[in-house]
Structures are given as structure tokens and as C-alpha cells.
Amino acid sequence: MANGKKNADSVLVNALDHETGLTSLRLLVEASRKNAYALSDAWQCALKATMEIAARQGEVVTVAWRDGAALLDEIFSETQPDTSLTKHVALMTNVIDMGASNAKSMREILIDAEREATDIISQRMSEGLKDIRGAIAPEKRRKAA
């Protein structure tokens, strides 16, 4: 094991001693830095979407409680069963409509966040491949010379 460690260390030292190795190491470090930034940006998109959804849910719950409480007061104050039933149906219709609207809003937030995060990662992958092509081209020219 010690011999393997020594060989690995000597390979790293030799790589750092040569211009090609140092350039490759710099490219690797730079690519890693760019990848970390891209992942950070993608996570920020996800966090932003999560916060938007939480805020939207808070708004929906607040409106639902307020409107529901007001309608329930009206329903229980009615003495006519038909009027009470009509208001109860109106309450249920309102709850269903609000739920559907809320689901649509959340879906749109998630789709936008997914699209933005995917674009960030896709762009970084394309840039990474260009970086690799750029690093390989000088190597080929050096070997040909």
C-alpha cells in the first residue's frame, strides 16, 4: 500500500512539474468550480419554487378559512333547509374551484423551476464539453508536432 501511495504521489508531482499536467489540473479545477456554481444555481431555482409554493399555500389557506368561516356563519344562521343546502353547495363548489386553481398554480411554478434548473445544467454540460474539446485540441497539436 505504501508503494502504491508513493507511485500516486510521484504521478501527481510529475504532473505538476510539467506544463501539460499543470494545465490539465487547472482545467479540472476550473471545470469543477463551474459545475459547483451551476448546481448551486439549479438548487436556488428549486428553493425559490419551494418558497413560492409555500407562500401560495399560505394565501390559499388564509382565504379558505376566511371565506369558509363567513359562509358557515351564513349557513348556520339560516332557518330554511333549502337555503342552507344551497349555501353548502356553494361552499363546496368554491372549495373545489380553489383547489383546482391552486393545483394549476403549483404546477406552473414547478414547471418553470424545472425548466430553469434544466436549462442551467444543460448549458453547463455543453460548456463542459466545449472545455474538454478545447483541452484536447492543444494536446493533439502538440503530439502532431
At 3-30, the pLDDT tens digits run: 545 555 555 555 454 555 566 777 778 8
> What local confidence, expressed as pLDDT, does residue 114 receive?
92
Higher pLDDT, 5 or 67: 67
CB burial readout 58-81, b (16+ within 10 A) else e: eebeeeeeeeeeebeeebeeeeee
What mean pLDDT is reported for the chain? 78
> What local confidence, expressed as pLDDT, does residue 141 receive?
60
Please say whether the beta carbons of 144 and 91 come within 8 A: no
- Predicted TM-score (pTM) of this structure: 0.60
The three-class DSSP label of residue 96 is helix
> What local confidence, expressed as pLDDT, does residue 130 receive?
85
What does the chain come to in residues? 145
User: Where are the chain's structural domains?
Assistant: 42-144
Please write the tens of the pLDDT for every residue from 112-123: 999 999 999 999
